[in-house]
Structure 1
Amino acid sequence: IYWPSGTIDKYYEVAVDQHLLAHEGFCLKPFFNILPEGKTVLCDDQEVLLEIPFNLNNIQWSTGANTQSVSIAEDNQISVGGHEADGCFRASNIKSVLYTPDQTPDVYFVEGSEVNCPGETVKIMASPATDYLWNTGETTQSISVTESGVYTLKINGDCQEFTSAAIHILFTDPLPPVLENDTLIISEAQELTISAEGASVFWFRDASGVELIHSGGVFNAGYIASDTTFYVAGLSEFFGPERQTGMVNHQGTPYSGNNINSGLIFTVFKDIILEKVKVYTQHSGYRTIELKQTDVTSGLTSIIGSRRIYIDPQTSYIDLDFEILPGKDYVLTTNADSNMVHQGMQSPRLFRSNSGANFPYILENVTEITTTVHGPANYYYFYDWKIKEKQAECLSELIPVHILLQTHVRNDADESVSDLTIYPNPATGYLYFKCPSQNTLHGYSIEILDPIGKTIQSKSAVGGEKIFIGDLTAGMYFLRVRASTENCSIFTKKFIVQ
């Protein structure tokens, strides 16, 4: 050790993994632990006696005491020092004493989030503790969740039981598109267009939703020359609770120069909706609020969204409802040309703050307002942002749309529908049907089709008949009857197996 005085101390074979205290000229001593060692927790009305593990002279505790031991009955960080008989100074490590500590467990998401799609699994985990008891009855540090609900955890702390903050988990129920008819029966091969109503409609060729073939409510299915099944689903977006960012209230003087049209520059980290902002003005009239973004590569600025809004001379919230994707260099501003028309100047005559601005305004992992078009000294126009974060985007169940090609078809809309009786529906065990006006001497064939139009059972019969369906799994099927008489030539009817 080279000391400022020029003294050089040399120590040999010094053990590793030590915290040492050196004194110039003669001492190199390890720090020691106050007794009792380890974590010390005091509950109500308890105290602990802390002791130095060997004799020292000139003792000085951090509490001010100078005895070999001290009693502690409150939260404290304790240390002590003193001299040994050889004159070397010894110092302790810091000893923590906790009095009735708050040991409320933290619970956090490992997989998933508050809002999830059907069929997903959410994993939540707790901070380390001696034991765990979830309100589901599970006793592990983490649990997997597949149902909507409120989840909490209890642990036994050193002095009492603690319960975590509640975690609300939602598994969404995305809305499927609305179909006028999920079974279309055509009498000849033809070009066919199918329609479904919904905000975001997607058409698939397979029941697993892997092969996407069209997006949109109107689907041109092409030339249909055989039994065909398509699948349609709706995509729903789910947003979390409203959150706030930005400067909340105006501070300072109201207006900047007549030729200044400024705005706020911000970054978005997740899909959000900027629902509304607060503005101040003393001048009524229209303003055009614009959301812009500058492309870093090309330097070109594009308008992402625009709202023409009449603003009264008061403090008010204006609805924007801008859907914003993750990205940088967004600007929330006004249209200077519109300002010239309605305000007679480039300025929008909206209040800006020339004091109290404190950039950046951060909504962690969601958005960050970094500065303004004219730098961080002032805050321009748009206060108290109300934002919702998109937390899930979920596809509904896939609905099969069956197209059945049948010659001389009589379906449920025909006036002769009473010629075929099918019961019970839904059915279990046996399904009965009869074509009563048909002569029982005439034969006919029976087919049972699965939901994608594949024949899974067929037979011949005469007159009324019952069909055993007890070996079919629960679900939807089609009964197809082919008869030798015109009265009941070909008939397809849907039935349900319970």
Structure 2
Amino acid sequence: ATVEAMGADAAMFSWNSTGTGPYNVQYRPVGTSTWESFPNVINMGVQVNGLMPCTAYEFQVEALCDTITSGFGPSVLLEPPVEPVPTITLDNEEVFCEGDQVTLTSSAATNLWSTGETTASIVVDQTGTYTVDGLGVCDTASSAAVDILVLDFVLPTANDVNLPGPGTATLTATGDSILWYDVQLGGSPVGSGTSWDTPFLSTTTDFWCTNTEVFGGAVSYAGEPDNSTQGQYHGNGNNWILFTATEAFTIRSVKVYASGAGNRPISLIDMDNSLNVAAGTFNLPDGESRVQLDFEVPGPGNYGLRITSGNPQLWRDGLGSNPGYPFPIGTFGTITGTTVTGANSTAYYYFFYDWEVEAFGVGCESDRVQVTVSMPTGLEEHAGPSVNVFPDPADRDVFFDLSGYTGIGQVQVTIFDASGRAMATKPMLNGRATVTTAWLADGLYSYLLTSNGQPITSGRFVVSHL
């Protein structure tokens, strides 16, 4: 016999029988004592209406045979619908930087998020624990929690710079990792480091810097820390060590014991797809040493770390060493055994000891902080001193004639090329100076007139040889 819901308050109860009937049907809510009856049912099925929604019922049937009955058979249960446990999918990582976001999407048809939202998806940009309830007809099912961590960036600190006149400026900023930009948004970095020299500047110019901090990337160690006395320097690379990964990480280094100095080829193998993930040839000294691999394990899966030469002459622990498999690899994997088949799979330990492993970190670049390189205002439009520069373009010489300057002290003129290098300096006598340009390459040059280290005026001229 079977029973099938026909909406929220009805059901179809059906059965098979070798007799021709009629039949008696009875049903009741599970756990109650009083039966409701349908006597003398001709067909082998009956629709029952008026059921209480979201209530479990039991149904029974008996066949009538003249003056006797078969007796009621075992109960057939009608269970109320059960809402499946919803799952949450993400379109981004669970850990990300301030300014980013992740969309959480529920598998349920009707939802109530821990945030109070009732849409199928929500956008999250705040640290917190998020769940969703799937609202069924008769019950509610809660998802597993999703923990979101939003990493706050740290702004760099930087100061504006004042230049006495055209030239280069050294910009400085404090932070973990500084990048410099010449635009407020977009573009590519034009420099890096806590100290950076600008190109040659002839006007007030703005730059911007950011600070990048790396979160996570914790280092741990895995595998046998040292070799044992039970083993040998091995003469082939036919077998190797196996591990599983539950997330991406980096094998930074391993300890080895070599019989003889020389090159050894080492590979990281994707065992699921028989692919080389990373490989390198490493020159090892005789005896114990640490090999800097920097092999990136790309994500969950089964992997091997192996020697690919025929005669590595590296120590491997053998029978009787009793390696302590499985070895946890931090929180992101396990060293499980070797490629040796049969019962001896975990009886050997091949070549690579004391693994240094590092979790992938998350780098968060801050917003851009403006840094202004200022020139004295109105240098070229100064109401007082002015300079006449001729000829322009210049060939063999360029002449400077200063007027309107009432200051005290020697005035000198300095010539700069397009990169900001000082090419020539000449003192002025009675407000005049002649600078030889015959040896200068064709191009645009700038000049700066100063007295006692203070700028007076500046400008540009062209050198063009006839």
Class of the TM-score when normalised by the shorter of the 2 chains? 0.3 to 0.5
TM-score relative to the length of structure 2? 0.47
TM-score relative to the length of structure 1? 0.45
Larger radius of gyration: 2
